[in-house]
Amino acid sequence: METLSENRSFGGVQGVYRHRSRATGTDMTFAVFMPDLAAGERAPVLWYLSGLTCTHENAMTKAAAQHWCSEAGMAIVFPDTSPRGEGVADDKAYDLGQGAGFYVNATRDPWAPHFRMWDYVVDELPDLVTGAFAVAPDAMGITGHSMGGHGALTIAMTHPDRFRSVSAFAPIANPTESDWGQKQLGAYLGDDRAAWRAHDATILMTERGYPDEILIDQGSADQFLDKLRPESLAQAMMARRQPGQFRMQPGYDHSYFFVQTFMGDHVMWHAERLFRCLAGSS
């Protein structure tokens, strides 16, 4: 792991790092904010998955997360959204290819050799981070925005034993029925729609849900509401009687101004649950 930068931030350290990924077969860049810790202490860790076109840097600089994570005593990790570099497949459209990994393991060419973001986020990067930083592997939560909210929800519902808390900002909630989903899932996974089901939060909510509460914030003025389909997920939560909160925030759009506004709520939501995990394991 190579250190690209480290800066003092809210009493902790915001770092950017690069490593060679087994999952993607490429160099991957990610960011970690570590709060100030006492000797021997390990922090809960929140994973933040970003949306279409983003890198690790967007949320690191725009989400206003470091202040809240410092207050809570919690680390936060910002992975990239896709593999990148020479020889990595791409597309002219902004919503496919580099910057648009959709947090799946691609099975179709030309994407299959490198686009394995599910394995990268679920297994490889958590193992690297928990080995290199003073974070607790049994107190990990996950959140994300838009495409990243889709990834956070689908990963958490599939691996609730690994990700002990989950929230989302304006997630792509029903991709199998949306223009933001059908195109990408078809390209990465092929035409068999049965293979898409594992990557649709509405379907997973209907079939399995999540063992703890879920927090979702959605802006009522989001310009992409028709593509996000929040009503599908909200209905599935109600039908399942899933514990949690689905908050429609009046007047907010899809931007990072929306994410900033509610980031403190989400960090503290995760902190409450993850510190409970730490207390239970001590």
Catalytic, out of 21, 146, 165, 167: 146
- Are the C-beta atoms of 204 and 158 separated by less than 8 Å? yes
150 is annotated as an active-site residue: no
Residues ≥6 apart with Cβ < 8 Å to 261: 249, 252
- Are the C-beta atoms of 5 and 16 separated by less than 8 Å? yes
Q: What is the largest CA-CA distance in the chain?
A: 52
Least Cα distance to 173 among 193, 192, 145 occurs for 145
222 is annotated as an active-site residue: yes
Q: What one-letter code names the amino acid at 17?
A: Y
Catalytic, out of 114, 150, 254, 270: 254
Residues ≥6 apart with Cβ < 8 Å to 190: 107, 108
The sign one gets for the Cα dihedral 103, 45, 142, 225 is: negative
Distance in angstroms (rounded) separating the CA atoms of residues 35 and 172: 30
Strand order in the sheet with 43-49: 2-9, 12-20, 27-34, 75-78, 43-49, 135-144, 165-169, 214-219, 244-249
Three-state DSSP state, 194? helix
Conformational region of residue 203, where left means phi above 0, alpha means psi within -120 to 50, and beta covers everything else: alpha
56 is annotated as an active-site residue: no
Catalytic, out of 80, 200, 217, 222: 222
Three-state DSSP state, 117? helix
- Catalytic site positions: 146, 222, 254
